[in-house]
A and B are shown apart, each in its own frame.
Chain A
Amino acid sequence: MNTDQLIDKLVAEGAQKPLPHPMKQALFWLAGTLVWLAVLSGYNGFRADLAGKLADPLYITELALLAGMAFSAALAALCLSRPDGHQMPWIKYVPFGFIVPWAAAAFAGATGDISFISICHSMTLGQFDCPWHILLFSAPPGIAMFLIVKKGAPIQCCWAGSMATWSVTSFGYLCMRLIEQNDNPPHLIVWHALPIVLMCIIGMMAGKYALRWR
């Protein structure tokens, strides 16, 4: 087939309708994710001291920063699902901007010991139910996010995969903070934050294969 014949064939098929703007897609996905997380949180039951915690500005700030981190990562993943996502190179660095303020809000008022020894001790406790819950909370919105990103034509697959995973696991973390009555910093670092980092690395590798535009 020569180029002219190919063009005729492609023209006969016609161009596809444009995808909604990434912000619209992100809000649509967020609505679904919030419903899923609300159902799961309700099923598991909120922490007993939630009413008291909601009066704590640091706790509210921590939740708000987690939500901001999760949403900005979702938006970055969706922007990266376009081939020319590199025109906004800053978008994938926005979620990183939330890390330090979030850590400050999460651990500033912490009463527990954040020493290296206590973190090592926390590792020996084997509280695998926390990462398991985060994974459970994250899996369905994560699959939805991967499918939405794959609908585009992602060229920076690793970035798109890690951003998609980061967004859903951050929401998982947020839910765990609403459910689990444990504010011990070493526990939060070892059994909440580190599994998220690990999941993001796995998401990055999964993105390389699952999101690759062929």
Chain B
Amino acid sequence: MSGTEETQSLEELMRLAQQGDKKAYAALFRAITPLLKAFISRRLAAADVDDVVQEILMSIHRASHTYDTARPFKVWMFTIARYRLNDHLRKLYKKGAFPEIGLDDLTHEISAADVTEQRDRYEYLNRALSSLPDKQKKIVTLMKIEGYSAEETAQTMKMSVSAVKVAAHRAYKSLALKVEQEEDQ
């Protein structure tokens, strides 16, 4: 990474680029490409990531005149990225890349071995969870299984948000330790 990228914010790089500074524009693109790749690779198959990232880079280039340097760059950039990602997904759905699968077909696809393996994992997780203290167990269940936020969990548990976060952190740590121990055995 060059010195320019290290010392200047994305907002500053875009401002310079809009004034005709091509070095800043290149630095900006090189700085945002890994961010976009990380954003897209969490949502798409690896094979599609580069194509979509390139589409987003082109869109950012085409929309470069709409960026207001007084506003955060990343919000502007990720809005464009999300818009292009949705466009890409819409195209995929239109092509029928995600065909509907009947429940009967699905039953044939799942083998007895898969079911047993899933059940083993479930029991293993259940065992690890039940070894935690009651409070930590409840917090992990609420946050990771039932999908509540830290604030909602804090309300349910009648605790402060920071206390919930600390308890959750301790629980994850001891769960990770248990997994390591189990793997060593």
A interface, CB within 8 angstroms of B: 1-3, 6-8, 10-19, 21, 81-84, 86-87, 152-153, 155, 213
Q: Does B79 contact A (CB under 8 A)?
A: yes
Cβ A15 vs Cβ B79 within 8 A: no
B113 to nearest A CB, angstroms? 41
Residue in B33, B57, B62, B79 whose beta carbon sits within 8 Å of that of A84 in the complex: B79
Provide the residues of chain B in CB contact with A17, threshold 8 Å.
18, 65
Q: Can you list 22 contacts pairing A with B, beta carbon distance less than 8 Å?
A: A3-B53, A3-B57, A6-B57, A7-B29, A7-B30, A8-B26, A10-B29, A12-B22, A13-B61, A15-B14, A15-B25, A15-B64, A15-B65, A16-B64, A17-B65, A21-B68, A82-B66, A82-B68, A83-B76, A83-B83, A84-B71, A153-B66
Contact (Cβ within 8 A) B68 A14: no
CA distance A50 to B71 in the complex (A): 46
B17 in the interface (beta carbon within 8 A)? yes
Cβ contacts under 8 Å, B25 to chain A: 10-11, 14-15
A82 to chain B, nearest CB (A): 5
CA separation between A16 and B58, bound complex, in Å?
Answer: 13
CB distance from B77 to the nearest CB of A (A): 9
Instruction: Name which residue of chain A comes closest to B54, CB basis.
Output: A6
> Does B18 contact A15, Cβ atoms closer than 8 Å?
yes
- B33 in contact with A7 (CB, 8 Å): yes
Q: Are B50 and A3 in contact (CB under 8 A)?
A: yes
Distance (Å) between the CB of A91 and the closest chain B CB? 13
Q: Residues of A contacting B53 with CB < 8 Å?
A: 3
**Do A10 and B75 touch across chains, with their CB atoms under 8 A apart?**
no
Residue pair B18, A16 in contact (C-beta under 8 Å): yes
How far is the CB of B67 from the nearest CB of chain A, in Å? 7
Distance in angstroms from A185 CB to nearest chain B CB is: 43
A7–B66 alpha-carbon span in the complex (Å) = 19
Q: Which residues on the B side are within 8 Å of A152 (C-beta)?
A: 63, 65-66
For chain B, the bracket of interface size reads 20 to 34
Looking at chain B's contact residues, the main secondary structure is: helix
User: Given A17-B65, A83-B76, A83-B80, do A11 and B22 touch, yes or no (CB 8 Å)?
Assistant: yes
Whether B79 and A19, one on each chain, are in contact in the complex, defined by CB atoms closer than 8 angstroms, is no
Given pairs A3-B54, A12-B22, A18-B68, 18 additional interface contacts (CB within 8 A):
A1-B54, A7-B29, A7-B57, A14-B25, A15-B64, A16-B18, A17-B65, A18-B67, A19-B66, A83-B66, A83-B83, A84-B75, A84-B76, A152-B66, A153-B59, A153-B66, A153-B80, A213-B63
User: Which residues in window 25-40 of B have CB below 8 A to A?
Assistant: 25-26, 29-30, 33
Q: What is the distance, in angstroms, from B25's C-beta to the closest C-beta of chain A?
A: 5
How distant is the Cα of A121 from the Cα of B67 in the complex, in angstroms? Answer: 52
* 8 Å CB interface, B63-118 against A: 63-69, 71, 75-76, 79-80, 83
User: CA–CA, A86 to B75, complex, Å?
Assistant: 10
Q: Chain A residues near B79 (CB, 8 Å)?
A: 83-84, 86, 155
- Report if A87-B71 is in contact (Cβ < 8 Å); known contacts: A15-B25, A16-B64, A153-B62: yes
Q: Please determine whether B69 and A14 come into contact, CB atoms closer than 8 angstroms.
A: no
Q: Does B20 make an interface contact (CB < 8 A)? A: yes
Residues on the A chain within 8 Å of B76, using CB? 82-84
Inter-chain contacts of B20 with A (CB < 8 A): 14-15
**In the complex, what distance in Å separates the CA atom of A52 from the CA atom of B178?**
87
Q: Check A83/B57 contact, CB under 8 A, given A3-B33, A14-B20, A155-B83.
A: no
Nearest CB in chain B to that of A154: its residue = B66
